[in-house]
Amino acid sequence: MAKITPRDGEQACEREPAPELFPLGDTAVTIRFATAIGDAASRRVRALDAYLLSRPLPGMIEAVPAYAALTVFYDPPAVRAFAAAAAVAGLAAERGGGEYRRRTAADTIGALLLEAAAASMECGISAAGAVLREVEIPVCYGGAFGPDLAEVAAHCGLSADDVVRLHTEAAYTVDMIGFVPGFPYMSGLPPALAAPRRETPRAAVPAGAVGIGGAQTGVYPLATPGGWQLIGRTPLRLFRPEHNQPSLLAPGDRVRFAAIGEAAFAELARREEQAAHASTDRLAGGTAP
Amino acid sequence: MIAVIEPGLRSALQDAGRFGYRRIGVPASGAADAAALRAANLLVGNAPGAACIETTLRGPTLRFAEDALVALTGAPLAARIDSDGPLPHAAPFFVRAGATLTLGGAARGLRGCVAVAGGFAAPAPLGSRSVYAPAGLGRPLAAGDVLSLGAPSASAQRLLRRLREGAGDAAWAAAGWRAAADLAGPAGSAAGGAPVRVRVVPGRELVLFAPASREALFAGAYAVTPQADRMGCRLRGEPLLLAQPLELVSEAVAPGTVQVPPDGQPIVLLADCQTTGGYPRIAHVAAVDLPLVAQAPPGSRLAFEPIGMEEADRLHARRERDFALLAAALEARMRQ
């Protein structure tokens, strides 16, 4: 389902606006590259994310990449300990004049984050070794699987078949994962398919539901409340806690939807359910929660 | 082993949290009151982030199949062993095999924390025992569940033996000392009581709110609504309105973030909060005061007080020192 292809390596060094830093409370700092969604900012987020995965900052707990910003969660005592040690060791003078003995842990992490962002964008580094995954998501459109397909078609002035054709012809990019486990925020919906959210959100949208909300399309990984128009459903599980990579999709992935019939849906759903059951047994460990 | 006779309301295992998976939308989870978790574990000689049972409003009824050392922190629950009690809060006590621990309602606060020496030997999907049921990462306790225990630390075993010897025929016996209330239990959030002071650092969008709203946030108190769960504590009070409409690009949010949806009623995000969001962030609760929000029951009120990042750091450092002192003092007592 997921095939790996090398990313096109030609990526020029561009002049980018200076990133901004914001504390997200007293245990996280956000570095923001742009105030709007765009390819340049998205690339910088992914480059910094890849850099931090291989070279985590002192005291860093984890990084959360988003559309145009990345947030680092940190352990304040560990960051303070680093800042104190760096000052003693004269690291401040050694590393580009950077001053780590800041007033707050957030200042220290911010300074380190700016350095990492600059290093991650040095020409060639961000493209090296990066791979592009293409993921095909089978979808059974319409009927009980996509109860809003007719409404979307009517809104867009298209036939239901046209909606399915346009939705499966387009190539989408996963910009970020968030909201709930495995939920992909994707760009690339053909403008002709943009449709407003439902006036009253559904109390329960089934796992695998494929929807359109404004200019976005996405797949609900878990049964949750949801306000998007549902045009179909995939039998694939987008969140698999037993897996090495629990999220089927990752930022940067290219996604295509493929129309399948009810029989294929049933067969794929059966296989996915078997995998899920195996995982539930393992995760639950018998009677303990 | 411990058998769950009656689960209480939404009782579930929580540890220090699940880290490294927020990038794929998995919330950090972990005990909503992180201080209560840490204190409870230290009291029974566990690692500070070991899994405990987190209770909500009302606790479970548990039957012990083996001798155990137990501590209760967080919201003080009415607690009995068989029909004998009340049991002390924030103090380790010995429970004899065959005894039944019944945890009732909370006089104040919202969430209790039950630590058992050795911790719970439950599976740890994605590296944590914290239950996050929506994604199939564990589930709340149910009647009939059997919880396996790990091996208590050497000092916990010593204290357990000492308490058992002193217990005679009794089904339980408590140590004669306890942890300080500011670490182990909430300062006193009760429905209808005086507002609880909660210190916050500014959020990025604070300056984009109307001046009157910026004043209102710190002037009055905000009431905790019944729509408060582990994802967030929804508040009601003077509406907080932006000076101009604003479209934000989704990015990370965190437990403690005070976000303001279009209706102007703020929500303090808690342990199970979604990983990303697009509402304006008017403030963030200082990490040391987040337990106060987690312990605020519906009907209680919060009064926000602004502090700077330096002050937040200083408070955090002092809390760390307090916990280090508690850990050292407890270790010394257990070794006696």
The rounded mean pLDDT for chain B is 94
- Cα B185 to Cα B35: distance, rounded to the nearest angstrom: 8
Check pLDDT > 50 for residue A8: no
| Sequential DSSP letters for A3-61 | EEEEPP--------PPPEEEE-TTSEEEEES-SS--HHHHHHHHHHHHHHHHSPPTTEE
B227-247 pLDDT, tens digit each: 889 999 999 999 999 999 888
Asked if B66 contacts B149 with a C-beta cutoff of 8 angstroms, the reply is yes
Nearest residue of B to residue A22 by CA position?
Answer: B204
- Give the domain ranges of chain B: 2-186, 196-317
* pLDDT value of position A226: 84
Strand pairing of B232-236 and B267-269? Answer: antiparallel
> Which of the following CATH numbers is that of domain B196-317: 3.20.190.10, 3.30.479.30, 2.40.30.40, 2.40.100.10?
2.40.100.10
Check pLDDT > 90 for residue A206: yes
A251-282 pLDDT, tens digit each: 889 999 999 999 999 999 999 888 777 765 55
Check pLDDT > 80 for residue A99: no
Chain A residues touching residue B256 (CB < 8 angstroms): 25, 27
pTM confidence score: 0.91
Give strand ranges (E) for chain A.
Answer: 2-6, 20-23, 28-32, 60-65, 69-74, 131-141, 172-177, 184-187, 202-205, 209-213, 216-219, 224-226, 229-233, 254-259
Sorted by sequence, the CB contacts under 8 Å of residue B169 that are 6+ apart come out as none
Ranges of chain B with pLDDT below 70: 186-189
**DSSP summary character for residue A17:** P
* pLDDT value of position A128: 40
Chain A residues touching residue B227 (CB < 8 angstroms): none
The rounded mean pLDDT for chain A is 85
- Cα B148 to Cα B145: distance, rounded to the nearest angstrom: 10
* pLDDT value of position B120: 96
Helix (H) or strand (E) holding B200: strand B196-202
Residue type, B220: G
Asked if A81 contacts A64 with a C-beta cutoff of 8 angstroms, the reply is no
C-alpha distance from B271 to closest chain A C-alpha (Å): 14
* pLDDT value of position A287: 42
Give the pair of three-digit tokens for residue B72. 């209760």
Question: From edge to edge, which strands make up the β-sheet containing A20-23?
Answer: A20-23, A28-32, A69-74, A60-65
* pLDDT value of position A86: 80
- Cα A166 to Cα A37: distance, rounded to the nearest angstrom: 23
* pLDDT value of position A97: 42
* pLDDT value of position B319: 94
Q: Does A56 touch chain B (CB under 8 A)?
A: no
* pLDDT value of position A289: 41
- Cα B270 to Cα B188: distance, rounded to the nearest angstrom: 19
Nearest to A67 among B141, B142, B249 (CB): B249
Give the pair of three-digit tokens for residue B37. 């978790």
Helix H, strand E, coil C: the string for B254-314 is CCCEEECCCCCCCEEECCCCCCEECCCEEEEECHHHHHHHHCCCCCCEEEEEECCHHHHHH
C-alpha distance from B161 to closest chain A C-alpha (Å): 27
Nearest residue of A to residue B2 by CA position?
Answer: A288
A15-56 pLDDT, tens digit each: 568 899 999 999 999 999 998 888 889 989 999 999 999 999
Average of pLDDT values for A62-84? 94
| SS3 state of residue A163 | helix
Average of pLDDT values for A203-212? 92
Chain A residues touching residue B205 (CB < 8 angstroms): none
Residue A211, beta-bridge partner list = A218, A230
In chain A, % of residues over pLDDT 90: 60
* pLDDT value of position B271: 98
Give the pair of three-digit tokens for residue A25. 């409370």
> Which ipTM was obtained for this model?
0.96
Sorted by sequence, the CB contacts under 8 Å of residue A55 that are 6+ apart come out as A116
Residue A259, beta-bridge partner list = A139
C-alpha distance from A206 to closest chain B C-alpha (Å): 12
* pLDDT value of position A2: 44
